[in-house]
Amino acid sequence: MKANPATHSMPLAFVNHSVSSGFSYWEIREFFDEPDFVVVGAGIVGLNCALSLRERHPKARILVLERGLLPQGASTKNAGFACFGSLSELLDDMNTQTEDEMLALVEKRYQGIQLLRKNLGDKAIGYKPHGGYEVFLKGDPEFFMACLEHRKRVNKILKPLFRKKVFEVVPNTFGFEGVQDYLMKNRYEGQLNTGKMMLALQSKCIKKEIRILFGVSLEDFTDLNGKVAVKTSLREFTCGKLYLATNGFASSVLGDSVSPARAQVLITKPIKKLKIKGSFHIDRGYYYFRNINDRILLGGGRNLDPLGEKTAEFGMTPLIQGKLEQLLKEVILPGTPFEIDTRWSGIMGVGTSKVPVLKSLSDNVACGVRLGGMGVAIGSQTGKELSRIF
């Protein structure tokens, strides 16, 4: 359809700027006309928050704003581990937490995975109960021995939750090289298809008449007289309540309590007769890899450049990508030819504590951010809790 040239030549005097935003009456009415609830961020937390709001408010007008054309944070970039902590991660947690606190966090993560599976269904999210494994490098035998020594103790602490042993020692049957002969298996760990999970969440929102606008940024907001004035990159409007689910990008409202943390990933092209199946944590969790569609997805290496990776800018560095390739070649796929298909990065939100920041910022504005590397597991529950702050 051709644009009407008359529109462009209309004298400015005829244009009343308060009503000439370029949006139609229908668009304004359906999207911007005083939504009851606005959620910022279309990641796992934002979409779950919107869905929980819908459950409690069947008739409410709910709008989700996402600045990217796709979600631009962590939820569509992650590795899809449905995990609640490798043995070494839990031992590390016990350096700063009591046994009860560690157990409570494991329970939150494990129950969160069950909630995600129940909400969306295993088929829709491509859930596979392949188990998880911790792989110990040969060059660090003391660390391996320490994990072996504490395995029984951790299993005992986790027993009230799982009833059976969580961590067991199994031989390296995957052909990994440069590693200890035994791996630590966690039979309760699973993996999912991150892309399918996010699509399932989006479809559920659309079915429940939740509007999602992509490519729109929240720029500013003011909580005034029972309403929130919202300034976005598209338009200014007011809403009843505002929920911020902006995770690694929340420092503008929360200061130092949330820092961005970039995580780099690569994926190989399909590999013939790939034997590796499961989710793997390697070198104290600094690296992680899994199978997906006959490929290996591998990420990590932030420890190589902690300051450089404390950034909200997407991108890859030769240092980290080089290390990932070296691991693939020497440890994970020794002797197996492979090609890298794609590389990407995501931005997480981290802080001094592993617990998310869930709180009200004013009478009508709340946030649920800082999910660290646990958002697949705890994102559904965090979104639900965010929706219940008011």
Ligand X SMILES: Cc1cc2nc3c(=O)[nH]c(=O)nc-3n(C[C@H](O)[C@H](O)[C@H](O)COP(=O)(O)OP(=O)(O)OC[C@H]3O[C@@H](n4cnc5c(N)ncnc54)[C@H](O)[C@@H]3O)c2cc1C
- Stretch in the footprint of ligand X (CB under 6 A) among 12-20, 115-123, 175-183, 240-248: 240-248
Binding-site size, ligand X (CB under 6 A): 40
Q: Is 228 in the site for ligand X (CB under 6 A)?
A: no
Q: Which is nearer to ligand X, 38 or 180 (CB)?
A: 38
Q: Is 85 in the site for ligand X (CB under 6 A)?
A: no
- Please count the other Cβ atoms lying within 10 Å of the Cβ belonging to residue 162: 16
Q: Is 43 in the site for ligand X (CB under 6 A)?
A: yes
Q: Is 245 in the site for ligand X (CB under 6 A)?
A: yes
Helix residue ranges, H only, the chain: 5-8, 25-27, 44-56, 87-93, 99-120, 122-125, 141-162, 194-207, 251-254, 318-327, 375-387
Express the helix, strand and coil content of the chain in percent, nearest 5 each: 35, 25, 35
- Please count the other Cβ atoms lying within 10 Å of the Cβ belonging to residue 178: 13
C-alpha span between 142 and 160 (Å, rounded): 29
Q: Which is nearer to ligand X, 150 or 343 (CB)?
A: 343
Residue from the set 39, 42, 135, 328 that interacts with ligand X by CB under 6 A:
42
Strand partners, 170: 183
Q: Is 254 in the site for ligand X (CB under 6 A)?
A: no
Of 345-364, binders to ligand X (CB under 6 A) are 346, 348
Under 8 Å CB-to-CB from 50, ≥6 apart: which residues? 37, 39, 62, 64, 205, 210, 383, 387
Q: How far is the CB of 170 from ligand X (least distance, A)?
A: 21
Nearest 5 degrees, angle CA 314-CA 47-CA 279? 60
Q: Is 88 in the site for ligand X (CB under 6 A)?
A: no
Q: Is 158 in the site for ligand X (CB under 6 A)?
A: no
Q: How far is the CB of 343 from ligand X (least distance, A)?
A: 11
Q: Which is nearer to ligand X, 103 or 377 (CB)?
A: 377
Q: Is 35 in the site for ligand X (CB under 6 A)?
A: no
Binding site for ligand X (CB under 6 A): 40-46, 65-68, 71-75, 77-81, 217-218, 245-249, 263, 265, 299, 346, 348, 371, 373-377, 379
